Amino acid sequence: MKILFFYLFCFLSVTSYSQNTYTPEKGSKERKEILDIFREDFSTEKNEILFKVDHFKVNGNWACALVTPLKNNVEVAEPRWDLFNKVAGKWKQVNWSKGIHIQDDFELIDLPTPNGRIAKLIVKKYPTCSMSIFVK
């Protein structure tokens, strides 16, 4: 009976935890704040850069986004992804790869998949980060 309750508890915990994953609405403050962090890479042109959002998931204080930078509807850089953490009410870019052994540069390019090597390393390093924010 204890085992049944344990499995039920684990299932409900995982289910309720993963139900909080969402994509911020277009025009929302949260979406703008995170996309503005990407915009900082474009210095003087940052106000002219828009993004085609290929993936954008938030769960609690963690977010993962994959965007393609556009200027005048033309791709101006390769698609890029990053991990974000909300600290004291403000979204910040996470230097997640610091201290993690990367086998090759391609691991930094591709968006992590749930239960993929990079996602597992990130969640191990940041246990409050949900696997549900990564692309499926």
Q: Say what the pTM is.
A: 0.80
Confidence category of residue 107, pLDDT binned at 50, 70, 90: low
Write out the E strands in the chain.
50-59, 62-71, 74-75, 80-87, 90-93
Model confidence at 101, pLDDT cuts 50, 70, 90, reads confident
Q: How far is CA 99 from the centre of its chain?
A: 19
Q: Which residue has the higher pLDDT, 134 or 3?
A: 134
- Rounded Cα distance, 102 and 60, in Å: 27
Which has the higher per-residue pLDDT, 134 or 43? 134
Q: Which of 40-49, 76-85, 108-117 has the lowest mean pLDDT?
A: 108-117
